[in-house]
Chain A
Amino acid sequence: MSEIRIDQASRWYGNVVAVNGISMTVRPGVTGLLGPNGAGKTTLIALMSGFLAPSAGSVTLDGTPIWRHTDAYRVIGLVPERELSFGYLTGREFVQANAELHGLADPGAATERALDVVEMGEPAARRIGTYSKGMRQRVKLASALVHDPAVLLLDEPFNGVDPRQRLHLMTLLRRMGSEGRTVLFSSHILEEVEQVARQIEVVVSGRHAASGDFGQIRRLMTDRPVQYVVVGDDDRGLASALIGEPSVVAVSLRPKGGVDVSVSDFGAFTVRLPQVARQHGIRILELTPTDESLESVFAYLVGG
């Protein structure tokens, strides 16, 4: 059992702060690192895998700083977001090379075992250059698993992977976590993270925005005012009817037609809106959420 402890770690490049005073402990089990693109997820994983020195603070693996500590790779398996550019090797040759570099006693057997885990035993005889994105992702995972690491770090492992292979990858990660490994993966998709991870760490703009199990994070993300624009054939009538609803906290008329609605409980709102419209004989022509992008969810988390 291993854990990675990040203590007040910051990393900046010139004037740009990529990671800003983050503290977190990654323990055995699956942890999801959630954040929009550019939030600093890759920088955090680079810090945790010894491929970046913290500008301030510390990043340790079981108490030992990871930076410039090559022996840490006996414990860590890393699946970078970087594409495999070893197109001239077969999958098996690549995984075997990784096994050899780890100095394993029987690299051949370790290679076959890792290829079996990711179900790549058959296509492993082909060159990596011929692989689909999902296959390359699985070969990368096999190469990171070949030495049976206690810590597994994956940067955006589900990116560009088709749904069936995504499901397979998710099952694998869950299994690794339940085996007592410390598994951390990054993603910018909440649904992806909550399907696999029990613990979720949210980073936004280099800051640690939230931390908790997926229930807590989901409540944080959904129990917030959501903005909609509703356009009907009687905007004023619609506005006065909606303000009577408990799920609505604010209503205003838009100058060019339509109603801005602020909703505290969007579950109840989606049920009530058609009923209210029918009761008052108003036709709804348009319903648009105005801030559903993930970035606005994250912005809310940071602000709140």
Chain B
Amino acid sequence: MPTRNPAPLTPPLNPTILRLSRQALLGRRRGLVLVIIPTVLLALAVIVAALTDDAVGYESVLTLGYTLALPLVALLAATAVLGPEVDDGSIVYLISKPVSRHVIALSKFAVAWAATVVFGGLPLLVAGLVLDSGDTRQAVAWGVAGVVAGTAYTALFIALAAFTRHAVVIGLLFALLWEGLLGSLLGGIKWVSIGAWGRGVGHDVSGQLTGPGTGLTYALVAAVLLTVAALWFTGDRLRSFTLRGDE
């Protein structure tokens, strides 16, 4: 038998899975879409800023970016790192290894999360600065809200990708109907809406960002709980991954 590294301490992230996930994310068409979404948002911000005075369209552009672009980016990133491999069963090659499946789930999440922050959260901050360079605080608040919500979105969508091959469709419906439509119509949804939690945290950074009224603590705890639960579930699903033949 070839010798193995003697380190029994398993790190929470696996560098090989990180590398492969990054390649899966950027090496396909999805990588392009991931870049297009924030580009469109920023282009919109630039146009609105050029055509209007005194940051008139600020709220609309940021709300659009926050409720639509951010979950879309998270969905694309999360399903790109896990979806295709689960769909076609080729994840078997990665998990027929003596590596904790929770470490695999966490590593895949880390890559998707980084993409969501860069292509979903950061553009919110930049868009805010483009629209009103005087109010840095509000721009940062949107960025923070984006990172908090983006984290929870990414974890939830990864769990979805581990659970069903229809993750993209279900995730899209969730983002548009639950988070977008129902979230704006029914006030009570703020307690169970990722978007609302992110706003709750953003509101604490700048009062200019309208908060949902759940309070900072609730928003943070809810986002963290959902993220941890979703990642644990993903690892557990991978542990129980079932190989089915074509028969």
Where the two chains meet, the residues of A that have a C-beta atom closer than 8 Å to any C-beta of B are 18, 37-43, 45-46, 49-53, 68, 70-74, 76, 78, 80-86, 88-89, 94, 97-98, 100-106, 110, 140, 143, 147-148, 155
Question: Could you tell me if A102 and B97 are in contact, using CB atoms closer than 8 angstroms?
Answer: yes
The answer to whether B2 and A105 have CB atoms under 8 Å apart is yes
The DSSP consensus for interface residues of chain A is: loop
How many Å lie between the Cα of A97 and that of B107 in the bound state? 14
Interface CB pairs A-B, < 8 A, 15: A43-B245, A46-B242, A50-B96, A51-B92, A52-B244, A68-B240, A70-B97, A81-B245, A82-B90, A82-B92, A82-B243, A97-B19, A101-B14, A101-B17, A105-B5
Are the C-beta atoms of B92 and A80 separated by less than 8 Å?
yes
Across the interface, do B242 and A52 meet the contact criterion of CB distance under 8 Å? Answer: yes
- Is B84 part of the binding interface, using a Cβ–Cβ cutoff of 8 Å? yes
Rounded to whole Å, the gap between the CB of B221 and the closest CB of chain A is 31
Query: In the complex, what residue of chain A is closest to B245 when comparing beta carbons?
Result: A42
Taking a contact as CB atoms under 8 Å apart, the answer to whether B96 and A73 are in contact is: yes
A46 to B240, CA, bound (A): 12
What chain A residues lie within 8 Å of B242 (beta carbons)? Answer: 46, 51-53
Q: Which residues of B contact A89 (CB under 8 A)?
A: 20, 23
B79-106 residues with Cβ-Cβ distance < 8 A to A are: 84-85, 88-90, 92-101
Q: Is the CB of A101 within 8 A of B16?
A: yes
Q: A97, B16: Cβ atoms under 8 Å?
A: yes
B247 contacts partner chain A, Cβ-Cβ < 8 Å: yes
**A70: nearest residue on chain B (CB-CB)?**
B98
Shortest distance from the beta carbon of A145 to any chain B beta carbon, whole Å: 11
A38→B90 contact, CB < 8 A:
no
Chain A, residue nearest B19 (CB): A97
User: Across the interface, do B85 and A85 meet the contact criterion of CB distance under 8 Å?
Assistant: yes
Q: Which of B23-45 contact A (CB under 8 A)?
A: 23-24, 27-28
The yes or no answer to B186 lying at the interface (CB within 8 A) is no
Does B191 lie at the interface of the complex (its beta carbon under 8 Å from any beta carbon of A)?
no
User: B51: CB under 8 A from chain A?
Assistant: no
User: How far apart are the CA atoms of A53 and B2 in the complex, in Å?
Assistant: 30
CA A53 to CA B17, docked complex, whole Å: 25
Q: Say yes or no: B88 contacts A148, CB within 8 Å.
A: no
- Residues of A contacting B95 in the complex (Cβ-Cβ under 8 angstroms): 70
A88 to B41, CA, bound (A): 30
**Contact present for B247 and A42 (CB under 8 Å):** yes
| B214 CB, nearest partner CB in chain A, Å | 38
Restricting to B166-186, which residues have a CB under 8 Å from any CB of A?
Answer: none
A81 to B17, CA, bound (A): 22
Query: B2 to A147, Cβ gap below 8 A?
Result: yes
A73, B94: Cα distance in complex, Å: 11
Question: B239 touches which one: A49, A68, A71, A83 (CB < 8 A)?
Answer: A68
In B95-133, the 8 Å CB interface with A consists of: 95-101
A175 to chain B, nearest CB (A): 18
Known: A70-B99, A98-B97, A104-B4. A83 touches B88 (CB 8 A): yes
Contact (Cβ within 8 A) B98 A102: yes
Which residue of B is nearest A80, CB measured? B92
A42 to B99, CA, bound (A): 24
Residues of B within 8 A of A86 (CB): 20, 90, 93
Query: When the two chains form their complex, are residues B96 and A76 in contact, meaning their CB atoms are under 8 A apart?
Result: yes
Query: In the complex the two chains form, is B243's CB within 8 Å of A51's CB?
Result: yes
Q: Which residues of B contact A78 (CB under 8 A)?
A: 92, 96
Contact indicator B240/A82 (Cβ below 8 Å) = no
CA distance A71 to B99 in the complex (A): 8
Closest to A88 in B: B27
> Is A80 a contact partner of B89 (Cβ separation < 8 A)?
yes
Interface centre among A40, A71, A74, A97 (most CB of B within 10 A): A97
Q: In the docked arrangement, what's the CA distance between A86 and B90, Å?
A: 8
- Bound: A155/B164 CA distance, A: 25
Minimal Cβ-Cβ distance residue in A for B7? A103
- In the bound assembly, the distance between CA atoms of A100 and B99 in angstroms comes to 10
Q: Which one of B3, B24, B97, B247 lies within 8 Å of A40 (CB-CB)?
A: B247
Question: In this complex, what residue of A is CB-closest to B85?
Answer: A85
List B contacts of A147 (CB < 8 A).
Answer: 1-2
Which among B24, B27, B239 is the interface contact of A70 at CB below 8 angstroms? B239
Task: Identify which of A38, A53, A98 contacts B247 (C-beta below 8 A).
Answer: A38
Which residues of A are found within 8 Å of B247, using beta-carbon distances?
18, 37-43
Contact B97 A148 (CB under 8 A): no
**Does B134 count as interface, using CB distance less than 8 angstroms?**
no
What are the residues of chain B within 8 A of A46 when measuring CB–CB? 242-245
Point out the residue from B2, B98, B240, B243 that lies within 8 Å of A49, measured CB to CB: B243
Q: Which residues of the other chain, B, contact A68 by a CB distance below 8 angstroms? A: 239-240
Instruction: Determine how close the nearest CB of chain B comes to the CB of A50; give it in whole angstroms.
Output: 8
> In the complex, what residue of chain A is closest to B24 when comparing beta carbons?
A88
CB distance from A141 to the nearest CB of B (A): 12
- The minimal Cβ–Cβ distance linking A152 to chain B, given in whole angstroms, is 12
Task: Judge whether A85 and B84 touch: CB under 8 Å.
Answer: yes
Q: State the CA gap A148–B4 with chains docked (Å).
A: 12
B15 interfacial contact with A, CB 8 Å: yes
